[in-house]
Amino acid sequence: MPYTYPITIHHIFISPGHNYFGNRTQTPGLHPTLDVAMAEVKAGLGLVGDRFYGKGENFDGHVTFFAWEVFQALQAEFEMPEVTPVVSRRNVITEGVPLNQLIGQEFTIDGIRFRGTKHCAPCRWMDIGFTPGALKFLHGRGGLRAQVLSDGVLRRGAAILQTSMMMDLSKLTDALPTPRLP
């Protein structure tokens, strides 16, 4: 892959159970969300110990990514510096990656291969977990769902992302365009 980008992994979150998925109540479940220094990654399975691990080789969300820059913009927009990115409900919080540009692309992080499958759309829980209005703010920039294509260990800290396409780093917080329907 000819294009190399230095990035930072600020957080890796793993939760053994679903606190939100399929939950129609107004309060999240009680499964802990762990902020780990490293996570074992398995091809076709996901992050070992996470709630979505082993959902099938073709599952489109073995791992989810969220941009640190979008999180900071969210904090600033709602003047909530005390909130942490755990409320994003994403696995890997990255800095320096325009995640929407990786939709439909293969990429590596420190040699681990991923395929960006689709936008990780925010849901109503963002207004509960963060603050009212967060859901609307995150439309089109809720993160990236990805499949894991090779085994490895993902670590918090400095990392190298490689891809076969040149990314526009000036668009780190840009939302996906809303399609114009007839």
Whichever domain contains 69, its CATH number is 2.40.33.20
* Distance from chain centroid for Cα 93: 6
Q: Are 11 and 156 in contact (CB under 8 A)?
A: yes
- Rounded Cα distance, 116 and 102, in Å: 5
Q: Are 143 and 119 in contact (CB under 8 A)?
A: yes
| pLDDT tens, the chain, 182 aa long | 799 999 999 999 998 755 555 555 566 556 668 899 999 999 999 999 998 898 888 999 899 999 999 999 999 999 988 888 877 788 999 999 999 999 999 999 999 999 999 998 877 777 777 889 988 988 899 899 999 999 999 999 999 999 999 999 999 999 988 766 56
Kindly state whether residue 115 falls inside one of the protein's structural domains. yes
What confidence score (pLDDT) does residue 24 get?
A: 59
What confidence score (pLDDT) does residue 84 get?
A: 84
Of residues 129, 19, 4, 138, the one with CA closest to residue 69:
138
- Rounded Cα distance, 146 and 118, in Å: 7
Kindly tell me the sign of the dihedral angle through the C-alpha atoms of 58, 64, 67, 70. Answer: positive
C-alpha triplet 41, 154, 122: angle, nearest 5°: 80
Kindly state whether residue 181 falls inside one of the protein's structural domains. no
Kindly state whether residue 173 falls inside one of the protein's structural domains. no
Range of the domain at 11: 3-17+32-164
Kindly tell me the sign of the dihedral angle through the C-alpha atoms of 167, 168, 169, 173. Answer: negative
Phi, psi of 116 (to 5 degrees): -70, 120
For residue 14, the one-letter residue type is I
Kindly state whether residue 177 falls inside one of the protein's structural domains. no
User: Which residue's entry shows tokens 């691990």?
Assistant: 53
What confidence score (pLDDT) does residue 180 get?
A: 63
What confidence score (pLDDT) does residue 81 get?
A: 86
Kindly state whether residue 169 falls inside one of the protein's structural domains. no
Kindly state whether residue 172 falls inside one of the protein's structural domains. no
Q: Are 95 and 152 in contact (CB under 8 A)?
A: no
Split into its structural domains, the chain has a count of 1
- Rounded Cα distance, 78 and 93, in Å: 19
* Six-digit token string for 146: 């990805």
Kindly state whether residue 112 falls inside one of the protein's structural domains. yes
Q: Are 74 and 65 in contact (CB under 8 A)?
A: no
Kindly state whether residue 9 falls inside one of the protein's structural domains. yes
What confidence score (pLDDT) does residue 42 get?
A: 97
